[in-house]
Amino acid sequence: MRIARLSALVVLLVAPLAAHAQAGKDDKAVKEVVDFRNKYIEAEENRDVAYLDTILVYDFFALNPQGRLLNKAQQLENLKRPDRTLKVTNARDTHVQFYGNGSVAVLTEHVTVEGVDKGVPFGGELRFLRVFTKQNGQWKVVLAQSAPVPQAQTAAK
């Protein structure tokens, strides 16, 4: 139920902006968002909590493949734990769509995730949805959501 409400909230937040979608946004803007996403993932992998604290908005949330909803504080705590490792590789099927005169970017992609949490391996092929907003000229992370890619789609890649 919570996941359904969260998904509905995302749709409600993004849908009004769709009327202002930046169709054909230039490659420079897409590269800027993808570069920001790369720095964000690198910071997660390297437990750079100081940087992550500056780029996650105060009301950031993440929804992981297990359906657990994490706020900013919970996400930062989770990422800095020494018994947790994370590696995100092989980004593909990356798509960036801009809204609100280019101040909101929705990035979707298929990635391979490998990690260990308290000695238990996790990961696999995941589809990510990330929402970014530009505040005072700097990109910030609003939402990160991931879900396993169905086996049939994984085999086709």
Per-residue pLDDT of the chain (157 residues; tens, 9 = 90+): 454 444 434 443 444 444 344 445 489 999 999 999 999 999 999 999 999 999 999 999 999 877 899 999 999 999 999 999 999 999 999 999 999 999 999 999 999 999 998 899 989 999 999 999 999 999 999 999 999 999 765 555 5
Cα→Cα distances 79→33, 113, 154, Å: 22, 14, 27
Instruction: Say what the pTM is.
Output: 0.80
Q: What is the second-level CATH architecture of the domain 2-156?
A: Roll (3.10)
| Antiparallel, parallel or unpaired: β 120-135 and 104-117 | antiparallel
The region that residue 51 occupies, defined by phi over 0 for left and psi between -120 and 50 for alpha, beta otherwise, is alpha
